[in-house]
Amino acid sequence: MKIPVSETLAADIAKIEDLERGKCLELWREAFGRSPPKHLSPRIMKRVLIWDLQCQVVGRVPAKTDRALRQIAAGKAPPGTAKPGSHLIREWNGRTYQVEVTGEGYVMDGKTYRSLSAIARRITGAQWSGPRFFGLT
């Protein structure tokens, strides 16, 4: 679903996209109270300024989502996830289950699943949080 953008917001975004570097620096200082990081390209400055404008008009993401996005941007996996190549092991009712994390999902017993919760449901027959079942949270 596409979020409708008001004509005013669309016009303001177009104005930011047309700014020269000097005006970008000025608007950045106004928006964030300090100069941008050294060597930041005008293209990136414009993207951040547009994002800030959209946040003011539409609202920011929840703090939990913001933290997760910052972790991803820093190259860290968010809590409750495992990186591809990881192996998760869980014992349940006397049987040991091993799950391999891949880029496409999770592999157990040669079958690929889209989520750990689907695997937990397969193992237990009940609704479980997959990350919790495998001890990731």
CA-to-CA distance for 137 and 133, rounded, in angstroms? 9
| pLDDT at residue number 40 | 86
- Give the CA diameter of the chain: 67
Taking the whole predicted model, whether its pTM rises above 0.85 is answered as no
Of 64, 76, 80, the residue nearest 132 (C-alpha): 80
Amino acid at 25: L
Q: Half-sphere exposure of residue 61, counting CA atoms within 13 Å on the CB side?
A: 8
CA-to-CA distance for 26 and 6, rounded, in angstroms? 25
- Give the per-residue SS3 of the chain: CCCCCCHHHHHHHHHHHCCCHHHHHHHHHHHHCCCCCCCCCHHHHHHHHHHHHHHHHHCCCCHHHHHHHHHHHCCCCCCCCCCCCCEEEEEECCEEEEEEECCCCEEECCEEECCHHHHHHHHHCCCCCHHHHCCCC
CA-to-CA distance for 42 and 4, rounded, in angstroms? 26
Residue 107: both structure tokens together: 């592999």
Confidence of residue 1 (pLDDT cuts 50, 70, 90): very low
Model confidence pLDDT, tens digit, residues 33-79 = 988 888 888 999 999 999 889 888 888 888 888 887 777 667 666 66
Residue 118 has pLDDT above 90, yes or no: yes
